[in-house]
Structure 1
Amino acid sequence: MKNEVLSVAEAAKRIEAGAVMVLAGDEALLAQLPRGKWIGGTTVYFVTEDGGTVMRDKLFCTTFAEATGAVPRYVDVAGLPEISKGYTPGGFTMIMIPAFSVAHSNFAVEGQTYPGLFDQPLSGWITGVHLDDIGKRAPKIFDGSTGIGHDEGAALLHVALPEGAHVDLDILNIFARGDSAALTFSFPEAGFAAKTAVVNGEEVNFARYITETGIDTRLPLVANYAGALVNVSIQSVDVEAGEVKFYAPVVAGVEYRLANALGSYAQAFAQGAGETGEGQYSCNCILNYLYGELEGQRTGKFTGPITFGEIAYILLNQTLVKMDISNAA
């Protein structure tokens, strides 16, 4: 696996040579690429070897040299439950979904119920745009089999690997569950927005509770999902409407606690990553980039796109997703 910052011409040459790739960059660049074994998504935020940056003139490219083949595929919203139908035995699948789309919402809420979804590593991210362009330009995904961009649905890359190869898909979450009050949500409050929450057994208006207690909304809610700490980030608090919106859905009946405050984001990532990250695929959250002031800062040796949501089987927030391929023949 190789991560590189390439020009359109350099990426096109690689694609035409038959490389299996995932690409990230500005829509105008992705739209110029030839057909091939790739998928792409829009973002202009990245962490490169020089640190966090906004980049509009080049593409961030990951080439899977270990791959023995790959099939790019586009599915519309109705086809999302059939993601696993393209799985290659012993391989893995990359996925990209546009932010703010119906597919984004549906995958976040229903994805874990899709048949066979967890049968092989599924990694990817939610595509975005420059923050100044939100509401002006739609995030896009690109299917390399056609080269066409879409603002709805999902782009998939089903990758085949040689016998003996092993894929390690994991998350780096720099947040820990704090000792604050236990929060739970119930239907119909569970989802991307909630008006009420149960706090230590008492039902409260959640927007008013956040305001009155002075909760730092830059910190996510953290839950333990089968041993993995998963974040749900707060998007907005509307006291007048009495509603709190989230970047990922809260799940009914799951206990959440506010994350502990951090010192330095960059330092926390460096400590969490250690000396690992080089030669691995990764993507990191736009909220970490903003709140952690990562522009110009490194995140250990991890490089990759900054995204509007990360996917390691399910939708994640304020997390770094990492994937490594080893023991390939």
Structure 2
Amino acid sequence: MKNEVLTLAEASARIVSGEILSIAGHPAYLAQLPKGTWIGGSSHYFVTSEGGKKIENRLYCTSFDEAEAAEIRVIAPDNLTDIATGYQTGGASLILIPAFGHAHRRFAIDAPQNPALFAQPLMGWVAGTALERIGQDHAIVIDGSTGQTHEDAAIVMHLGFAKGVTPNLEIVNIFEQAGDTATSIIFETSGFEAEDAMINGAKRNLARYLTAQNWDTRLPLIANYGGAHLNVSIKSVDADTGIVSFYAPVQEGVVYRPAAALPDDYAQAFAGSLCDKVTGADYSCNCILNYLYGEMEGKSVSGFTGPMTFGEIAYMLLNQTLVRLELQKAA
């Protein structure tokens, strides 16, 4: 596996040569690529070996040299429970979903309840737009085998690997829950918005509670899923309407706790957590909120390179994390 920032001509040459690729970049550049064994998604922000930057005239390409087979599927929003069809023994699957559509919402809410997804590594990201164009431009994903662009569907690539190659999926999270005695928040319904919640055992309006607590909305809510701490980031808090919006859905009946404040500044904490965990040989993506809150523009972040996305996927939709897929080769 190798990761490279390439010109349109260079990326096209890789496709024509038969490489299996995941490609991130500006929609206008993705649309000009030839047909081949690749999937792509719109992304404008990246961390490269030169640091974080907005890139619109080149493409971030990951080549899966270890893959012996690749099947690309387009999955409509109402059929997302079918993602695991095509999983290959000992393989891994990549998934790209455009932001803010029906597919985005359905996957985010339904994925945790679909045990079939956890049968092998499922890793991917949510395609986005330029930040100043949110609400004006559409995020897109592309099935490179047909050249078709999709604004509201998932693109999945099922990969089969050579003998002796083992895929490992990891979530890197800089946040921890504030502690066993911290505030507990339980939601009665799943979704991207919430009004009332059970807060420390009493039903209260969440927006007004957070406002009264002077909550730092850069800190996510964290749930413990079988020992893994997973974040839900806060998009907005409106005390007047009583509505809190999230970048990923909260799940009904799950106990959430506030994240503890970071011991260092955001960028230092993130770089420290990645040390010795992520290399340029991994397929990885990072959250656009980490890019913004950590002021990563122009900064190199440990060994990580990759797109800054509108959501990371490790079986389910995540926020403010880094997700990495490592391909281990037997000695």
What TM-score do the two structures reach when normalised by structure 1? 0.97
CA distance in 1: counterparts of 2:312 and 2:49, whole angstroms: 20
Shift of 1:328: 5.8
Give the corresponding residue for 2:210: 210
The answer to whether the 8 Å contact 1:181/1:199 transfers is no
The answer to whether the 8 Å contact 1:12/1:33 transfers is yes
The answer to whether the 8 Å contact 1:142/1:155 transfers is yes
| Identical-residue share of aligned pairs (%) | 50
CA distance in 1: counterparts of 2:283 and 2:232, whole angstroms: 23
Give the corresponding residue for 1:52: 52
Shift of 1:79: 2.1
Give the corresponding residue for 1:280: 282
Shift of 1:42: 0.4
| 1:174-209 deviation line (CA, Å, top 9, x unaligned) | 011114743333333x32111012221122111111
The answer to whether the 8 Å contact 2:186/2:199 transfers is no
CA distance in 1: counterparts of 2:280 and 2:33, whole angstroms: 26
CA distance in 1: counterparts of 2:252 and 2:30, whole angstroms: 39
Give the corresponding residue for 1:17: 17
Give the corresponding residue for 1:109: 109
CA distance in 2: counterparts of 1:249 and 1:46, whole angstroms: 25
Give the corresponding residue for 1:314: 316
Q: 2:15 aligns to what SS in structure 1?
A: helix
- Give the counterpart letter for 2:233 in structure 1: S
Which of 273, 290, 293 aligns to 2:292? It is 290
- Give the counterpart letter for 2:234 in structure 1: I
Root-mean-square deviation over aligned CA pairs: 1.3
Q: 1:116 aligns to what SS in structure 2?
A: helix
- Give the counterpart letter for 1:218 in structure 2: R
What TM-score do the two structures reach when normalised by structure 2? 0.96
Q: 2:84 aligns to what SS in structure 1?
A: helix
Shift of 1:277: 1.7
The answer to whether the 8 Å contact 1:185/1:250 transfers is no
Shift of 1:298: 1.9
Give the corresponding residue for 1:186: 187
| 1:190-245 deviation line (CA, Å, top 9, x unaligned) | 32111012221122111111111100001100111111010000011111111101
CA distance in 2: counterparts of 1:52 and 1:161, whole angstroms: 31
Give the corresponding residue for 2:85: 85
Give the corresponding residue for 2:266: 265
CA distance in 2: counterparts of 1:273 and 1:286, whole angstroms: 16
Q: 1:89 aligns to what SS in structure 2?
A: coil
| 1:91-140 deviation line (CA, Å, top 9, x unaligned) | 11000001101011000110123362111110000110011111111100
CA distance in 2: counterparts of 1:254 and 1:298, whole angstroms: 36
Shift of 1:64: 0.7
Q: 1:207 aligns to what SS in structure 2?
A: helix
Give the corresponding residue for 1:129: 129
CA distance in 2: counterparts of 1:58 and 1:210, whole angstroms: 42
CA distance in 1: counterparts of 2:67 and 2:202, whole angstroms: 53
CA distance in 2: counterparts of 1:240 and 1:126, whole angstroms: 30
Report the more deviating stretch, 105-114 or 95-104: 105-114
Give the corresponding residue for 2:37: 37
Give the corresponding residue for 2:143: 143
Quick one: structure 1 residues 139 and 328, their matched pair in 2 at CA, closer, same or farther if it must change by over 3 Å?
A: farther
- Aligned residue-pair number: 328
| 1:292-319 deviation line (CA, Å, top 9, x unaligned) | 1111112210100000000000100000
Q: 2:35 aligns to what SS in structure 1?
A: coil
The answer to whether the 8 Å contact 1:233/1:247 transfers is yes
| 1:65-93 deviation line (CA, Å, top 9, x unaligned) | 11112122211112211111121221110
Gaps of 5+ in 1: none
Find runs of 4+ consecutive structure 1 residues off by over 4 angstroms.
none
The answer to whether the 8 Å contact 2:46/2:307 transfers is yes
Q: 1:132 aligns to what SS in structure 2?
A: helix
CA distance in 1: counterparts of 2:224 and 2:315, whole angstroms: 15
Q: 2:159 aligns to what SS in structure 1?
A: strand
Give the corresponding residue for 2:328: 326
CA distance in 1: counterparts of 2:169 and 2:187, whole angstroms: 31
Shift of 1:157: 0.9
